[in-house]
Amino acid sequence: MIDQKTLNKYDPIKNKAYQLIDDEGKPLDKTWKPRLSNAEILQAYKDLLFERTADLMAVSYQRQGRMFTYPPNIGQEAIHIAAGIVTKEQDWLVPAFRELGAWLAKGVSLKELFLYFKGNEDGSRFEKANRMLPIAVPIASQFPHAVGLGYAINYNKEKDTAVFAYVGDGGTSEGDFHEALNFAAVWNAPVIFIIQNNQFAISVPLKMQTKSINLAIKGLAYNIPSLMVDGNDFFAMHEALSYAREQAVAGKGPFLIEAKTYRTGAHTTSDDPSKYRSKEEEEHWAQKDPLKRLKGYILHSKIDELKDEEELIKGFKKHIDSEFEAAENHPEYKVEDVFGYMYAELPDELKRQKNAYENYLRGVK
Amino acid sequence: MKVMNLVQAINDALDIKLKEDKSVVVYGEDVGVEGGVFRVTEGLQVKHGVARVFDSPLAESGIAGTALGMAIAGMKPVIEMQFDGFSYPAFNQILSHISRFRNRTRGKYTVPLVIRIPYGGGINALEHHSESPEAYFGHTPGLKVVIPSTPYDAKGMLIAAIEDPDPVIFMEPKRIYRAIKQEVPQERYSIPLDKAKVLQAGEQITIIAYGAMIREVQKAIVIAKQQGFSVELIDLRSIWPIDRETISQSVRKTGRVLVVTEAPQSYGPAAELISIVNEEAFLSLEAPPTRLTGFDTVIPLPLGEKHYMISPERIATEIERLVKY
């Protein structure tokens, strides 16, 4: 369990990441017991596996020309699945664009995501995901939104409610990142800021991004409790996020987590990482793969032998394919969809533009 | 009825909405204890409490971005950009998110907020305090952009803006904040955000203006009248959406149009208005649709403003030229 002593021990100034299991999945401290039951741990592993499978298939759909640009999550799944467990129905999720497992846990369907990345805003509605904002493309610009949501939670005196907001390492250079941290601290907003430090902002490595010794340290100037965590360690992430949420809903204000991880895949399907990083580096991080480590833990601690993994993946693939087909069979993009959601009521000027275009279409037919 | 200037009328509208609707909050730089650098929010914090009327950290993107979060959570933030030139740091939030959230989420999330921006020159201010950025906002799909020119309109339009289900940029002509006094009803009322207003009927030429330019045009009309010209004056009030109907009806009648804006010329509101005139009243035109606008220069510091700001005499000269065309 994390407490003030842990926070002191892992003070960002000491530049040491909070970690509970090693690269093979063995607990660093033999007396440590996870907060989660064996069944929950097993389910988490399956969720990691599902996220990875969905991701690989998404990249493959894109390669087949059936979907446009897609940002893969491979290597960062422990963060997402841990956050998915900690985030409650009443909590707000403010995504960046690389948190697939956390979105799915919130109720986003793969069909919607595929539809979105196929180029239709209908896929950005996230119909069944209560209190989840759409994907934010302009880097870090979503952070102030999270703080506004946090203000509203305090203003409406909502109990047991927090905001989870995501950004990448590159995002910590943006002004909005800093403005949001500052506002959140001043307003004591219950926001958990999660920096997924996957070492690269597209092609730009962290050392070109900042001279700070780590990213968690950026929270200290704002007087926000901050912790650097091994983001590929599912248990460390779960523990840190649970603690951060407990603090936030207890009225202690914001919390910052730097999740140290590695983007195993490309930035998006339009990117070629071999141009800017080495095989050695990739191999080094492969040893720390979150799926491998959680699997190691499950096997070592004899929770399960994971013998049905192939069957499991087969089932996942079938489901993912059917979601993709549902996205492909989504109704055609209509003129109404271009105009229909701009305002509560379509202003006369837009009615005029829409009518003119529809008249043109009728003339063409 | 009570005699109010623009500042008092806006304060009254905020007071009424804060009283009526618990989801309304007012914040920005110095709007709390100080009551705003123009005293527009004076007394509101004492009346409505620090959770509802408050000073935020000094960061405009943060102010706008947090307001979006609040609006999504069901609140109705009315935020202030202290001066026109300080709205630019908030551009990304306004253009990339506030204007787009309804469309991006197919109506799941809406952003009913109001961004108040005191704007325009003629107040002997430092650089960045005298800008007319309405074209940037008017060019941005998803926003409504309005500018009142009288205390009566300011109160009714601000109440309408706060009640509007979509984001509204509410620009306040600070040059006439205290210059015009008018009888204003003390009770609540609202004025539609998409209607121009014919301030004065006339026969020979239509002048379209808004904000602080209205007063300058009215002075020009006095001169023109002495010269025997009959001028129709339209207060545009809504920069977007534009009231196409009122404009085209007027120009079809007069056959001439002069658009007067303080904002720079190129790609500005005057160009848009003249396009509408060309589309709607081409066959009625007796003279080329004409614009009298700020130069495509930086608005000068106070000692140079006399060259930039449009005087009644310049407007009167254009009226004469066009009527005699």
* B244 and B116 housed in the same domain: no
Residue B244 and residue A352: Cβ atoms within 8 Å? Answer: yes
Q: Of B139, B155, B184, at which residue does a domain stop?
A: B184
Which residues, in sequence order, are CB contacts of B175 under 8 Å at separation 6+? B120, B121, B122, B123, B212
Q: What are phi and psi of B171, to 5 degrees?
A: -100, 135
Give the CA distances from residue A201 to residues A100, A266, B57, B233, in Å, rounded to whole numbers and listed in that order. 18, 11, 29, 55
* B145 and B202 housed in the same domain: no
* B117 and B148 housed in the same domain: yes
| Confidence class for position B314, pLDDT limits 50, 70, 90 | very high
pLDDT, one tens digit per residue, over A6-21 is: 999 999 999 999 999 9
Q: Provide the ipTM.
A: 0.97
Q: Count of domains in chain B?
A: 2
Q: What is the CATH number of the domain that holds B281?
A: 3.40.50.920
pLDDT, one tens digit per residue, over A327-346 is: 999 999 999 999 999 999 99
Q: Which residue of B has its CA nearest to A186?
A: B57
Answer whether A138 touches B (CB < 8 Å).
Answer: yes
Q: Which of residues 75-134 of A touch B (CB under 8 A)?
A: 92, 121-122, 124-127, 133-134
pLDDT, one tens digit per residue, over B268-311 is: 999 999 999 999 999 999 999 999 999 999 999 999 999 999 99
Q: Kindly state the average pLDDT of the residues A191-198.
A: 98
Residue B281: Cβ-neighbour burial (10 angstroms; 0-12, 13-18, 19+): buried
Q: What is the pLDDT of residue A190?
A: 98
Q: What is the pLDDT of residue A365?
A: 63
Cβ distance A77 to A101 under 8 Å? Answer: yes
Q: Is the pLDDT of residue A250 over 90?
A: yes
- Cross-strand bridge partners of residue B76: B24
Mutate to test the interface with A, among B48, B106, B113, B248 (most CBs of A within 10 A): B106
The number of CA neighbours under 13 Å toward the Cβ of A63 is: 8
* B116 and B140 housed in the same domain: yes
Q: Percent of chain B at pLDDT above 70?
A: 100
Q: Of B141, B160, B184, at which residue does a domain stop?
A: B184
Sign of CA dihedral A45, A48, A54, A60: negative
Answer whether A352 touches B (CB < 8 Å).
Answer: yes
pLDDT, one tens digit per residue, over A152-184 is: 999 999 999 999 999 999 999 999 999 999 999
Whether B191 is in a domain gets the answer no
- Cross-strand bridge partners of residue A176: none
Distance between CA B183 and CA A274 in Å, rounded?
71
Q: Kindly state the average pLDDT of the residues A312-331.
A: 98
Looking at beta carbons, which residues of chain A come within 8 Å of B73?
92, 148-149, 152-153, 156
* B70 and B175 housed in the same domain: yes
Domain residues for the domain of B208 are: 197-323
Cβ distance B97 to A145 under 8 Å? Answer: yes
Q: Percent of chain A at pLDDT above 70?
A: 100
Selection from A288, A226, A214, A285 nearest residue A253 by Cα: A226
Q: Kindly state the average pLDDT of the residues A284-288.
A: 96
Beta-strand pair A226-230/A163-168: unpaired
- Helix, strand and coil percent figures for chain A, each rounded to 5: 50, 10, 40
Q: What is the pLDDT of residue A1?
A: 85
- Cross-strand bridge partners of residue A182: none
Quote the mean pLDDT of chain A.
97
Selection from A230, A205, A275 nearest residue A75 by Cα: A230
Q: Which residue of A has its CA nearest to B56?
A: A183
Q: Kindly state the average pLDDT of the residues A249-260.
A: 98
- The two three-digit tokens of residue B323, written as one number: 């009527």
Which residue reads 């480590």 in tokens? A293
- Identify whether B89 is preceded by a cis peptide bond (ω within 30 of 0): no
* B180 and B214 housed in the same domain: no
pLDDT, one tens digit per residue, over B252-275 is: 999 999 999 999 999 999 999 999
* B173 and B214 housed in the same domain: no
- A4-333 CATH pick, 3.40.50.970, 3.40.50.150, 3.20.19.10, 3.90.1150.10: 3.40.50.970
Q: Kindly state the average pLDDT of the residues B93-102.
A: 98
Compute the count of residue pairs across chains A and B with CB atoms less than 8 Å apart: 137
Whether B282 is in a domain gets the answer yes
Distance between CA B265 and CA B271 in Å, rounded?
8
Beta-strand pair B53-55/B76-80: unpaired
Residue A55: Cβ-neighbour burial (10 angstroms; 0-12, 13-18, 19+): buried
The alpha carbon of residue A355 is apart from the nearest alpha carbon of chain B, in Å, by: 15
pLDDT, one tens digit per residue, over B50-87 is: 999 999 999 999 999 999 999 999 999 999 999 999 99
* B159 and B249 housed in the same domain: no
Q: Percent of chain B at pLDDT above 90?
A: 100
| Confidence class for position B240, pLDDT limits 50, 70, 90 | very high
Residue range(s) occupied by CATH 3.40.50.970 in chain A: 4-333
Q: What is the pLDDT of residue A364?
A: 76
* B174 and B214 housed in the same domain: no
- What single string gives the DSSP state of each residue in A96-130? -S--HHHHHHHT--HHHHHHHHTT-GGGGS-TT-T
- The two three-digit tokens of residue B131, written as one number: 């800008």
Distance between CA B155 and CA B22 in Å, rounded?
19
Looking at beta carbons, which residues of chain B come within 8 Å of A144?
61-62, 64-66, 68-69, 93
Sign of CA dihedral A236, A239, A245, A246: negative
* B267 and B145 housed in the same domain: no
Q: Kindly state the average pLDDT of the residues B123-146.
A: 97
Q: Which residue of A has its CA nearest to B100?
A: A342
Whether B190 is in a domain gets the answer no
Looking at beta carbons, which residues of chain A come within 8 Å of B26?
none
- Cross-strand bridge partners of residue B4: B182
